[in-house]
Chains A and B, each alone.
Chain A
Amino acid sequence: MKPARIGLYAFLLTAALFFMLPLYVMISTSLKSMDEIRLGHIFALPMAPTLEAWRSAWSEACTGASCDGVQAGFWNSVRITLPSTILPIALGALNGYALSFWRPRGANLLFAILLLGAFVPVQVMIYPLVRMLAAIDVYGSLPAIVLVHLVFGMPVLTLLFRNYYASLPHELFQAARIDGGGFWRIFWHVMLPASVPMLVVAAIMQITGVWSDYILGLVFAGRDNLPMTVQLNNVINTTTGVRLYNVNMAATILTALVPLAIYFLSGRWFVRGIAAGAVKG
């Protein structure tokens, strides 16, 4: 092996270790008892590994008044993420399809305005959105948070699908027109089946994005639908009693588990889709 190779691997190994360190600390701390944590050996392996903290984080940790762990938040997050993934993707694909194939009058202007939306910071829109949702009487509910995710997901998803469809040969669309396909039939039978790679990418982006969201869930979901991230924050920031570091660590890992799993399972697709969306069109 050449010295340059050795240097390269040494660097990569160091970098990997460096970035793995927090995860290691989290996992080992979550497996320790509080007595052991108090010794202060943060990098030491647990002497008597126990899953007690994990059980407690899932079902017993206190979030403000109630002590049910982060599990309630988990199911809330699932209830928010599912519709907030399916609806925006369906609409984004439809938008992209209409914009790149049917080119209605003013399509480019519409697209420009939509893209502009992608550059406006979320925080700027929170107050107006609260007022608007309150006005139509859905503020603080599941539909409200789904609607908000739909609005914020639309620009990027439309862009992704528009570029993806622009990379398909236009003759495909023309052939379907001659075969007698209308707007919906061409979308449903020809274009949507041809966009599976993009659908996977969009799903990954949307699931990880929505799951990790904190501020929108906190503001719009309402007391009964607070997502896991908000519950997690409540668990960790509880000011009464002892700070249960092991429980906090376990709860944090539990919350991050869904996006993490998605990334691990779909890394290849994710890269491929992003490249396809970025290079073409």
Chain B
Amino acid sequence: MSNVHLRKLSITLGGNAVIRELDLQVEEGEFLVLLGPSGCGKSTLLHSIAGLTDISGGAIEIGGRDMSRVDPSERGIGMVFQSYALYPTMTVEKNISFGLRIAGMPKAQIAQHIERVAEMLHLKELLKRKPAQLSGGQRQRVAIGRALAREASVYLFDEPLSNLDAKLRTDLRRELKMLHQTLGSTMIYVTHDQVEAMTLATRIVVMRAGEIQQIGTPTEVYERPANLFVAGFLGAPSMNFVPGELDGQGRFRAAACAGLELGVAVPGARKAVLGVRPEHVAIGAGLPYTGKVTLVEPMGSHQVVWIGCGGLLMSCIAQDTQRYAGGDAVSFGIDASRACLFDPDSGKAL
């Protein structure tokens, strides 16, 4: 188990600076998730930690040792890839033991490692099979097993669940979380799926265009997003943004929706954007604002009701079984204590 420290890390690919002077500290035993849209540099960052992508500046320390120019196999890492990357001509057993055999480990010891990993990931019956004879979920379990067999100090996951169907993804996600609880190893996990990030991470790093937008626990990142990008990226449906202004006496007034105003804890008179999560918008008689239902999306356990008010469209998660139809006039309210305020120009939280 080791910590990972990135200092002023820069990566240039084909003449483009993908990552510029990035600092990141990953603690021992942490499950750190790098989250961001595709092309934000999160995979590149992970590959540089693995030593598969050369860095152009800065340093990578793993377990206190500078690994910036060290060969991938000597960094003490195990890695799981999106495409599984299993050796197609080797059996599951040989796949898992390939690294150990290269390292020249004695046969008896290799057998022990295979046994341990197979036990942990329920691969016992599959050991003699070739990758082509496995399902997607089984393949990814083998790939995880191959990484675990190395007994690395840091495990790297590059979108490992993205190629799986929805149900398998949920199952394997749970297995991964339990694995982390049992092993307690340091894990760095790249994904663009915010649900994976929320459920797995001890800390989330939200990235955009090669820069870190926010680092925090899932709750912090979700409830107190540092800027409009983070606020909009996490949550489905995403956060409602209400442009308007502060009047200087602690009240926010929406620009588009007449009558929508509420007390906030931010002083000063200025333009602002109010961010409200759909679950913090409530529909019910006696609530202060009025609008019209434009669309209803039933989700089974709840329904998403889209409410139009002036030029504004707000999503609202309604937990009740009340039926809404397009065109219904409804009253709704906003939980002011859970709302966020952003500066419309810089996008930063106020």
Contact = CB atoms under 8 A, between A and B. Distances in A.
B344 interface: no
Interface stretch (B84-92, B106-114, B252-260): B84-92
B89 A194 contact: yes
A169 interface: yes
Interface string A20-59: 0000000000000000000000000000000000000000
B150 interface: yes
Contacts of A176: 87, 98
Given A178-B99, A179-B99, A172 B85 contact: yes
A179 B73 contact: yes
A128 interface: no
Chain B CB within 10 A, most for which of A174, A177, A185, A193: A174
B78 interface: yes
Size class of B's contact patch?
Answer: 20 to 34
B202 interface: no
Contacts of A189: 87, 98
A195 B73 CA distance: 24
Nearest to B47: A174
Contact of A194 (B73, B78, B81, B88): B88
A200 to B, nearest CB: 15
Contacts of A174: 47, 50, 52, 72, 79, 81, 85
B83 interface: yes
Contacts of A193: 88-90
Contacts, number: 65
Contacts of A194: 87-89
A190 B89 CA distance: 7
A178 B98 contact: no
Interface in B49-67: 50-52
Interface string B144-162: 0010001000000010000
A181 interface: yes
A175 B81 contact: yes
Contacts of A169: 83, 85
Main secondary structure of the interface of A (DSSP, over half): helix
A276 to B, nearest CB: 14
Contacts of A171: 81-83, 85, 158
Contacts of B51: 177-178
Interface in A2-26: none
B103 A180 contact: yes
A104 B257 CA distance: 62
A198 to B, nearest CB: 13
Contacts of A175: 79, 81, 85-87, 143, 146
B272 interface: no
Chain A CB within 10 A, most for which of B73, B81, B85, B90: B85
A179 B72 CA distance: 8
Interface string A187-215: 00110011000000000000000000000
A178 B82 contact: no
Nearest to A174: B52
B50 A178 contact: yes
A194 B83 CA distance: 16
A178 B71 CA distance: 8
Contacts of A178: 50-52, 72-73, 77-79, 99
A73 B146 CA distance: 53
Nearest to B150: A179
Interface string B262-292: 0000000000000000000000000000000
Given A178-B73, A179-B102, A172 B87 contact: yes
Contacts of B103: 180
Contacts of B90: 193
Contacts of A172: 85, 87-88
A175 B47 CA distance: 11
A190 B83 contact: no
B252 to A, nearest CB: 49
A275 to B, nearest CB: 19
B102 A181 contact: yes
Interface in B220-273: none
Contacts of A190: 87, 89
16 contacts: A174-B72, A175-B85, A175-B86, A175-B87, A176-B98, A177-B51, A177-B52, A178-B50, A178-B52, A178-B73, A178-B78, A178-B99, A180-B102, A185-B102, A193-B89, A194-B87
The 4 closest A-B pairs by CB, nearest first: A179-B99, A180-B73, A193-B89, A171-B85
Interface of B: 47, 50-52, 71-74, 77-79, 81-83, 85-90, 98-99, 102-103, 143, 146, 150, 158
Interface of A: 169, 171-172, 174-181, 185, 189-190, 193-194
